[in-house]
Amino acid sequence: VLHIENGIPVKGDEGSVTLDAKCEKITDFSISYTTSVTYPKSNIISEDKAKAAFKEKIGMEHIYRTYFDWKTKKTTVFPVYAIPQSNIYIDAVTGEKTQINEISYITFKGTMEADEQMSNSGGGRNFSKAEMNELENIEGLLSVKDIETRLRANKLFGLDYGYELTYTAAKKNAGSEKDEYFYYMAFRKKDGNGYKYAYVTVNAANGEIKDFSRNQYGEKITFPSDETAKKTAESIISSLAPEKGGEYKLDTVSDGYVTYDRYVSGIRVEGDYIRISLYGKGAELTTYAISYTDAEFPDITNAMDKDKAADIIFEETGYKAMYMPYAEKADSIAPNRCALCYVPEDPSVMIDSLSGKRVRYDAKPYSSGKLGEYADIESHYAKDGINELKRFGIGFGGGQFKPDEPILQKDFAALLVTADNRSSIVIDENTDYDDFYRQARRSLIKKDEVSPDSYVTRLDAAKYICRALSIEKCAELEGIYNCPFVDVTSGKGYTTLLWGLKILSGEGGGTFSPDAPLTRGDCAIMLSRMLSLR
């Protein structure tokens, strides 16, 4: 539910109630409601005029997005048009561009000792001392001593010999297609009653600095002028990233903090940046970090224009007038003003700029994750079971359930795990089955039973469901069951228990056909009946 004022929703103010399967109990309740602002009544421009104003005064952002597949160890780069994430909106009264200072809540940031900080930094695997020694023998890698000498020689870091090297770890970069190794190094220097710390991440092959940070314990922090900070940052990039730095363009300069974004073929690469912090009138370096995607970038010569992209994106998401509570001051923790703006209902929508199709975060075709009406179940005996699963948000995408098709084990696993977790799923071409198998193998499908593209037999399904209901130990008891099915010679406990619980029924004539493939329709009936027991 939404918070409505004067017939207009308030952005961010929502409430929800979760009920149990029988709609008898409230299992969860939440609400957010802004009370610190007033909501002005005004005549607003039409949605069409707001869209035209958006195209003229804001426009879609053309960017490269990147996705790293941890299974294949491959990086995909794809160009998309997306709604700019810059807190800039169209005023619903004037039709002008306006920037809203939406509240960003500050999360707690703790501190940790040098060893802990370094061992938790970055992705990949730590190496033992013996492995560290072996690393230095890998062809093409620099030694720790070489890296240390280079760091101390570079005056940007201020690592004189008063700084003691207290910790060194090496990790293979798990988030890369290539065999990349990084050294993680911590330095410490006694300073009065406390210590100064410095931390560095270095490419072990070429000595390139990935990130650097140091604190100035006990010192009052002042900042250089923006112009000094900008010039110093440019010099630092020339020194630390001479080959890559030319691809980055200045984004912001404020209080000694300078940010750059990477551009390829004239458009921004999302997630590729340089961040530099400077302190004091002398603009001394305190932090440096660079992110750089080393991959092939698609040619965007034939990309569509941004107005056409806006039309497609607006077809995918509504563009509605909303009240926008905001803070007058940037450091406020609560809103004290309210604007009336046009806001995209789904700001995450993005389309491939070459194909014009909506895509997901991983470049695969987008699926709404919602179940529509099935066109092939109207006269089917499993209709009620299929619709009951659909009520829980469980089913197949594409508008067809295909109830008479045998169900594959991977689809049964996804449906069973989802039903067992009381969550929802729409199975389609984008479904990632790995997570479902990880969950299923804990208790539902044993390791030696895993066969994703095989059909599930009716007896297999009975076993999996008994495990989901935690009654397998009872099902395995021998000689105590009067099985109602004459053709069940093994697994009598599984079929008898589920028959008694009214989860399964036979094929007629006292038979069950335990070795026959289970159809999607019969699967829906069994799982919907299982859910009714919860």
Residue 229 reports pLDDT greater than 90: yes
| Residue 289 · residue 271 · CB < 8 Å | no
Percent of the chain topping pLDDT 70: 90
Helical H runs in 58-156? 114-119, 129-135, 144-153
Cα distance between residue 456 and residue 413, in whole Å: 10
| pLDDT tens-digit series, residues 153-191 | 999 999 998 999 999 988 888 777 777 899 999 999 988
- pTM of the full structure: 0.76
Q: Which residue has the tokens 């400077």?
A: 278
| pLDDT tens-digit series, residues 278-328 | 998 889 999 999 999 999 999 999 999 999 999 999 999 999 999 998 888
For 56-86, b where at least 16 C-beta lie within 10 A, e where not — what string? eebbbbbbbbbebeeeeeebbbbbbbbbeee
DSSP string, 160-193: -TTSEEEEEEEEE-TTSSS--EEEEEEEEEEETT
CB atoms within 10 A of CB 306: 17
Residue 119 reports pLDDT greater than 90: no
Give the pLDDT of residue 123. Answer: 41
| Residue 474 · residue 481 · CB < 8 Å | no
| Nearest in space to 269 (alpha carbons), one of 241, 234, 233, 244 | 244
| pLDDT tens-digit series, residues 245-283 | 999 999 999 999 999 999 999 999 999 999 999 998 889
- Report the first-to-last Cα separation within the chain, whole angstroms: 26
| Residue 395 · residue 427 · CB < 8 Å | yes
Largest CA distance in the chain: 91
Strand partners, 260: 250, 274
Cα distance between residue 456 and residue 60, in whole Å: 47
DSSP string, 412-467: HHHHHHHHHHT--EEESTT---HHHHHHHHHHTS-GGG--TTSBPBHHHHHHHHHH
Chain-centroid distance of CA 65 in Å reads 13
Highest mean pLDDT of the ranges 19-33, 48-62, 137-151 = 48-62
